[in-house]
Amino acid sequence: MVKFLFLLIPVFINAEGLKSLIEFAHQNNQLVDSKQLLKASKQKELDAKKSDYYPTVDVGAYYQNLNERTTGLAGDIYSGYAKIGLDIYDGGKKSALVKQKEAEHKASSYDVDDMKSALSLQIMQDFFNIMSLESSLVSKEEARKSLKVQLERMNAFYDASLATKDDVDRLQAAYDTNIYEMESVKLELLTLKLDLSLKVGKEIRLLSASKFINKGEADFEVIESVKSLEYSKRSIENLRDSIDSAYYPQFRLEDTYSLYDYGNTDRTHPKGVDNQNKILLSVNMRLFDNASISNTKQAIAIQSQSLAKHLEYKTKEQEMFHALAKERIKINEVKIKSAESALKSAKSAFHTIEQKYTAGIVDNVVYLDALVAKTNASSLYETSLNDLQIAYGIYYHYAGQNIEEFINE
């Protein structure tokens, strides 16, 4: 016995719980990584816009050669310059664009959280659906063993001319149908496990029992997808404000320092290096653009209205799914009680009918009906237990909570 338990230790060690799978997926799922990279990209865009507040410094140089030198002019001119420039006033454009990028970055941050939340929900559903399929497979395996025993028994009776070919064929058909159903379940199980492995980011072999902690009604918070839409709407509104800046005068100050040297000169041209410093204050204001700015503003306003409609719908959708999730829990609790009662009755009936069938009191039709009823009832009961866990997970998700915080392994 001790040796047997020792052999089972690696199995339990390698079994994966729901909470650990979700945590691993958050760190290794490629879709989460993709959202993280987009967030990093938005941070760089924000940094770039903040840099616009600082002066710009440019340097340059050029060389000029005249094929035919003119009196008083150098044949070769060498020049270099350094220029510093600063926007003194831009009508609030920089400020609006920084706010736009801040909103975009915040939206991308919520996109990361939304991807993690959606991934957690999908993994949770796959996890408990796998548990249901595994329970169904166990029930069908028990039925297979019972059918095999009865089929061997009926074949022996047939060989002794105590049963008809029809009796054997009926049991054989039931046995083969059960095998067919088992293989179908195995395919479903394989599909779900491969899908779960893809989402988690590693191969999944064994799952350990996990349940949600029922803490009563959870606090309701806006889910991340709705928050992302809210900040996307703010981003559009800030972009519209940046367009307004075109109606204001733009002031810019520049200071350029240049050096010149000359070659291939005649005696009339000054010798040595020349220099010049030029300060420029410029003002620019748009007077006419054939309604280009106005149309751009209208287009942005329409985008804002579109996002507002989308935001309103998603807010109502969360409230609807949250209310529905509460009812799902209540309904699944009732279904568990019904499934438990049905299983108890099916087991009792099968036990009695199996004894009668062995004694030859009932035929194999009654036996097969009882076996199918017990198998289905067992599978239904286990599925109802797992469906309740799925209902809890959906409820916590649409309550705006991190579902992994409510998992007990």
pLDDT tens-place string over residues 155-179? 999 999 888 899 899 999 999 999 9
CB 98 within 8 A of CB 50: yes
Mean pLDDT in residue range 105-133:
97
In angstroms and rounded to an integer, the radius of gyration of the C-alpha atoms of the chain is 38
- The Cα 367–Cα 83 span in angstroms is 97
Question: What totals of helices (H) and strands (E) does the chain contain, helices first?
Answer: 8, 6
Phi and psi at 206, nearest 5°, equal -120, 145
Please tell me the class of the 14-54+92-248+291-408 domain: mainly alpha
Q: In b/e form, how buried is each residue of 234-248, taking b as 16+ CB within 10 angstroms?
A: bbbbbbbbbbebbee
* CA dist 104 → 39, 238, 263 (Å): 9, 10, 55
CB 101 within 8 A of CB 42: yes
Confidence (pTM): 0.86
pLDDT score of 361 more than 60? yes
The predicted pLDDT at position 4 comes to 41
Mean pLDDT in residue range 214-241:
92
Q: pLDDT tens digits, residue range 379-395?
A: 999 999 999 999 999 99
Spatial CA neighbour of 114 closest among 273, 302, 299, 314: 314
- For the chain, the structural domain boundaries read 14-54+92-248+291-408, 57-89+250-284
- The Cα 93–Cα 98 span in angstroms is 9
The predicted pLDDT at position 6 comes to 42
pLDDT classification of 266: cutoffs 50, 70, 90: low
Please list, in sequence order, all residues whose beta carbon lies within 8 angstroms of the beta carbon of residue 209, skipping any fewer than 6 positions away.
Answer: 17, 131, 409
The predicted pLDDT at position 222 comes to 96
pLDDT score of 2 more than 60? no
Q: What is the residue whose two structure tokens read 């703010």?
A: 234
- The Cα 392–Cα 329 span in angstroms is 7
